[in-house]
Amino acid sequence: MSEAASQNEPQTKNPQAENKGLNFALDFGPLLVFFLVNQFTPEPKLLKILAATSAFMVAMIAAIVVSYVKLGKISPMLWVSGALVTFFGAATLWFQDETFIQIKPTIVYMIFATVLIFGMWTGRSLLKALLGTAYPGLSDEGYRKLTISWTLFFVGAALLNELVWRTQTWDFWVGFKLWGMLPLTFLFAIANVPMLMKHGLDLGEDEEKEES
Protein backbone atom coordinates (compact mmCIF):
# COMPACT_ATOMS: atom_id res chain seq x y z
CA MET A 1 0.00 0.00 0.00
CA SER A 2 2.83 2.35 0.86
CA GLU A 3 4.45 1.68 -2.50
CA ALA A 4 1.20 2.41 -4.28
CA ALA A 5 0.83 5.63 -2.33
CA SER A 6 4.37 6.67 -3.15
CA GLN A 7 3.73 5.98 -6.82
CA ASN A 8 0.65 8.18 -6.74
CA GLU A 9 2.48 11.19 -5.26
CA PRO A 10 4.56 12.04 -8.36
CA GLN A 11 1.40 11.84 -10.47
CA THR A 12 -0.06 14.79 -8.57
CA LYS A 13 3.01 16.78 -9.49
CA ASN A 14 3.05 15.89 -13.15
CA PRO A 15 0.70 18.72 -14.21
CA GLN A 16 3.11 21.29 -12.76
CA ALA A 17 6.03 19.65 -14.55
CA GLU A 18 3.99 19.61 -17.75
CA ASN A 19 3.22 23.30 -17.30
CA LYS A 20 6.93 24.05 -17.04
CA GLY A 21 7.54 22.14 -20.26
CA LEU A 22 4.66 23.94 -21.94
CA ASN A 23 5.95 27.32 -20.78
CA PHE A 24 9.34 26.48 -22.27
CA ALA A 25 7.73 25.49 -25.57
CA LEU A 26 5.63 28.65 -25.63
CA ASP A 27 8.64 30.86 -24.94
CA PHE A 28 11.11 29.30 -27.36
CA GLY A 29 9.00 27.30 -29.82
CA PRO A 30 8.30 30.29 -32.08
CA LEU A 31 12.01 31.05 -32.20
CA LEU A 32 12.73 27.48 -33.29
CA VAL A 33 10.07 27.79 -36.00
CA PHE A 34 11.70 31.04 -37.14
CA PHE A 35 15.09 29.34 -37.41
CA LEU A 36 13.85 26.20 -39.16
CA VAL A 37 11.76 28.00 -41.76
CA ASN A 38 14.68 30.30 -42.55
CA GLN A 39 17.03 27.32 -42.69
CA PHE A 40 14.96 25.30 -45.15
CA THR A 41 13.58 28.08 -47.33
CA PRO A 42 15.60 28.34 -50.55
CA GLU A 43 17.24 31.49 -51.84
CA PRO A 44 16.79 34.32 -52.73
CA LYS A 45 17.41 36.02 -49.41
CA LEU A 46 14.20 38.03 -49.55
CA LEU A 47 12.13 34.85 -49.81
CA LYS A 48 13.86 33.46 -46.71
CA ILE A 49 13.21 36.67 -44.80
CA LEU A 50 9.54 36.86 -45.71
CA ALA A 51 8.87 33.16 -45.12
CA ALA A 52 10.67 33.03 -41.78
CA THR A 53 9.07 36.25 -40.56
CA SER A 54 5.59 35.08 -41.55
CA ALA A 55 6.11 31.77 -39.78
CA PHE A 56 7.43 33.59 -36.71
CA MET A 57 4.31 35.74 -36.54
CA VAL A 58 1.98 32.77 -36.87
CA ALA A 59 3.94 30.80 -34.26
CA MET A 60 3.81 33.69 -31.78
CA ILE A 61 0.05 34.10 -32.19
CA ALA A 62 -0.36 30.34 -31.77
CA ALA A 63 1.75 30.45 -28.60
CA ILE A 64 -0.46 33.17 -27.13
CA VAL A 65 -3.62 31.20 -27.93
CA VAL A 66 -2.22 27.96 -26.51
CA SER A 67 -1.05 29.75 -23.37
CA TYR A 68 -4.53 31.13 -22.78
CA VAL A 69 -6.30 27.83 -23.50
CA LYS A 70 -3.93 25.50 -21.64
CA LEU A 71 -2.66 27.69 -18.81
CA GLY A 72 -5.52 30.14 -18.47
CA LYS A 73 -3.13 33.09 -18.61
CA ILE A 74 -0.65 34.89 -20.84
CA SER A 75 2.60 36.06 -19.30
CA PRO A 76 3.61 39.72 -19.72
CA MET A 77 6.76 38.66 -21.58
CA LEU A 78 4.72 36.62 -24.05
CA TRP A 79 2.25 39.48 -24.53
CA VAL A 80 5.00 42.00 -25.24
CA SER A 81 6.98 39.65 -27.48
CA GLY A 82 3.87 38.61 -29.40
CA ALA A 83 2.70 42.17 -29.95
CA LEU A 84 6.10 43.36 -31.15
CA VAL A 85 6.70 40.32 -33.37
CA THR A 86 3.33 40.98 -35.00
CA PHE A 87 3.98 44.71 -35.44
CA PHE A 88 7.58 44.53 -36.65
CA GLY A 89 6.89 41.36 -38.62
CA ALA A 90 4.09 43.12 -40.48
CA ALA A 91 6.41 46.05 -41.18
CA THR A 92 9.04 43.64 -42.49
CA LEU A 93 6.53 42.03 -44.84
CA TRP A 94 5.03 45.33 -45.99
CA PHE A 95 8.32 47.11 -46.68
CA GLN A 96 10.22 43.90 -47.51
CA ASP A 97 12.99 45.06 -45.21
CA GLU A 98 14.46 42.75 -42.55
CA THR A 99 15.63 45.67 -40.42
CA PHE A 100 12.26 45.86 -38.68
CA ILE A 101 12.27 42.29 -37.38
CA GLN A 102 15.96 42.54 -36.51
CA ILE A 103 15.53 45.54 -34.22
CA LYS A 104 12.55 43.89 -32.49
CA PRO A 105 14.71 42.04 -29.89
CA THR A 106 16.50 45.27 -29.04
CA ILE A 107 13.22 47.01 -28.32
CA VAL A 108 11.87 44.03 -26.34
CA TYR A 109 14.98 43.87 -24.17
CA MET A 110 14.92 47.61 -23.53
CA ILE A 111 11.23 47.50 -22.61
CA PHE A 112 11.94 44.77 -20.06
CA ALA A 113 14.90 46.71 -18.66
CA THR A 114 12.81 49.88 -18.43
CA VAL A 115 10.02 48.05 -16.59
CA LEU A 116 12.49 46.71 -14.02
CA ILE A 117 14.16 50.10 -13.59
CA PHE A 118 10.74 51.69 -13.10
CA GLY A 119 9.91 49.07 -10.50
CA MET A 120 13.09 49.77 -8.55
CA TRP A 121 12.51 53.51 -8.80
CA THR A 122 8.98 53.21 -7.41
CA GLY A 123 9.98 50.69 -4.76
CA ARG A 124 8.07 47.80 -6.32
CA SER A 125 9.44 44.44 -7.40
CA LEU A 126 8.10 43.85 -10.90
CA LEU A 127 10.48 40.99 -11.67
CA LYS A 128 8.09 38.22 -10.61
CA ALA A 129 5.28 39.65 -12.72
CA LEU A 130 7.56 40.17 -15.72
CA LEU A 131 9.22 36.76 -15.70
CA GLY A 132 6.14 34.91 -14.46
CA THR A 133 8.39 33.00 -12.04
CA ALA A 134 8.14 32.72 -8.28
CA TYR A 135 11.18 32.55 -6.02
CA PRO A 136 9.95 30.98 -2.75
CA GLY A 137 11.75 32.24 0.32
CA LEU A 138 13.76 34.88 -1.52
CA SER A 139 14.38 37.95 0.61
CA ASP A 140 13.72 41.53 -0.47
CA GLU A 141 17.46 42.05 -0.85
CA GLY A 142 17.62 38.96 -3.05
CA TYR A 143 14.86 40.31 -5.27
CA ARG A 144 16.65 43.65 -5.47
CA LYS A 145 19.93 42.06 -6.56
CA LEU A 146 18.18 39.75 -9.02
CA THR A 147 16.28 42.69 -10.50
CA ILE A 148 19.54 44.58 -11.00
CA SER A 149 21.13 41.51 -12.58
CA TRP A 150 18.29 41.00 -15.06
CA THR A 151 18.19 44.70 -15.86
CA LEU A 152 21.88 44.64 -16.78
CA PHE A 153 21.36 41.43 -18.74
CA PHE A 154 18.53 42.92 -20.80
CA VAL A 155 20.57 46.04 -21.55
CA GLY A 156 23.56 43.91 -22.54
CA ALA A 157 21.36 41.67 -24.69
CA ALA A 158 19.96 44.72 -26.48
CA LEU A 159 23.45 46.01 -27.24
CA LEU A 160 24.58 42.56 -28.37
CA ASN A 161 21.63 42.22 -30.72
CA GLU A 162 22.44 45.60 -32.24
CA LEU A 163 26.06 44.56 -32.74
CA VAL A 164 25.19 41.25 -34.38
CA TRP A 165 22.49 42.37 -36.79
CA ARG A 166 24.45 45.43 -37.89
CA THR A 167 27.71 43.54 -38.55
CA GLN A 168 26.68 40.02 -39.58
CA THR A 169 24.56 38.36 -42.26
CA TRP A 170 20.86 37.62 -41.96
CA ASP A 171 21.44 33.87 -41.58
CA PHE A 172 24.05 34.42 -38.89
CA TRP A 173 21.71 36.68 -36.94
CA VAL A 174 18.85 34.18 -37.13
CA GLY A 175 21.14 31.41 -35.89
CA PHE A 176 22.51 33.64 -33.16
CA LYS A 177 19.01 34.20 -31.78
CA LEU A 178 18.61 30.46 -31.22
CA TRP A 179 22.14 29.18 -30.61
CA GLY A 180 23.57 32.33 -29.04
CA MET A 181 21.02 34.22 -26.98
CA LEU A 182 19.11 31.17 -25.79
CA PRO A 183 22.16 29.48 -24.17
CA LEU A 184 23.33 32.83 -22.80
CA THR A 185 19.95 33.35 -21.15
CA PHE A 186 20.02 29.91 -19.54
CA LEU A 187 23.61 30.33 -18.36
CA PHE A 188 22.80 33.71 -16.88
CA ALA A 189 19.79 32.32 -15.01
CA ILE A 190 21.88 29.45 -13.64
CA ALA A 191 24.70 31.80 -12.64
CA ASN A 192 22.26 33.66 -10.39
CA VAL A 193 21.29 30.56 -8.39
CA PRO A 194 24.12 30.77 -5.79
CA MET A 195 23.22 34.38 -5.04
CA LEU A 196 19.55 33.49 -4.79
CA MET A 197 20.24 30.64 -2.38
CA LYS A 198 22.39 32.95 -0.28
CA HIS A 199 19.37 35.23 0.07
CA GLY A 200 16.89 32.56 1.10
CA LEU A 201 15.72 30.89 -2.11
CA ASP A 202 14.15 27.53 -1.24
CA LEU A 203 14.82 24.86 -3.87
CA GLY A 204 13.35 22.02 -1.85
CA GLU A 205 10.12 21.71 -3.81
CA ASP A 206 11.89 21.97 -7.15
CA GLU A 207 14.34 19.23 -6.20
CA GLU A 208 11.50 16.88 -5.19
CA LYS A 209 9.80 17.50 -8.51
CA GLU A 210 12.98 16.76 -10.41
CA GLU A 211 13.50 13.51 -8.48
CA SER A 212 9.96 12.43 -9.25
The residue type found at 199 is H
Query: Which residues have a Cβ under 8 Å from the Cβ of 7 and sit 6 or more positions away?
Result: none
Bigger pLDDT: 181 vs 6: 181
For 108-137, write each residue's pLDDT tens digit. 999 999 999 998 888 777 877 776 666 777
Summarised one tens digit per residue, pLDDT across range 51-77 is 999 999 999 999 999 999 988 888 888
> How many domains would you assign to the chain?
1
Residues above pLDDT 90, as percent of the chain: 58
Q: Say what the pTM is.
A: 0.82
Please report which confidence band the pLDDT of residue 10 belongs to, taking 50, 70 and 90 as the band edges.
very low
Alpha-carbon distance values, 179 to 92, 117, 128, 184, 187 (Å): 23, 28, 26, 9, 12
Return d(Cα 31, Cα 176) in angstroms, integer. 11
pLDDT at position 16 is: 52
Domain that holds residue 202: 2-211
Task: Answer whether 72's CB lies under 8 Å from 81's CB.
Answer: no
Residue 25 pLDDT class (50, 70, 90 cuts) = confident
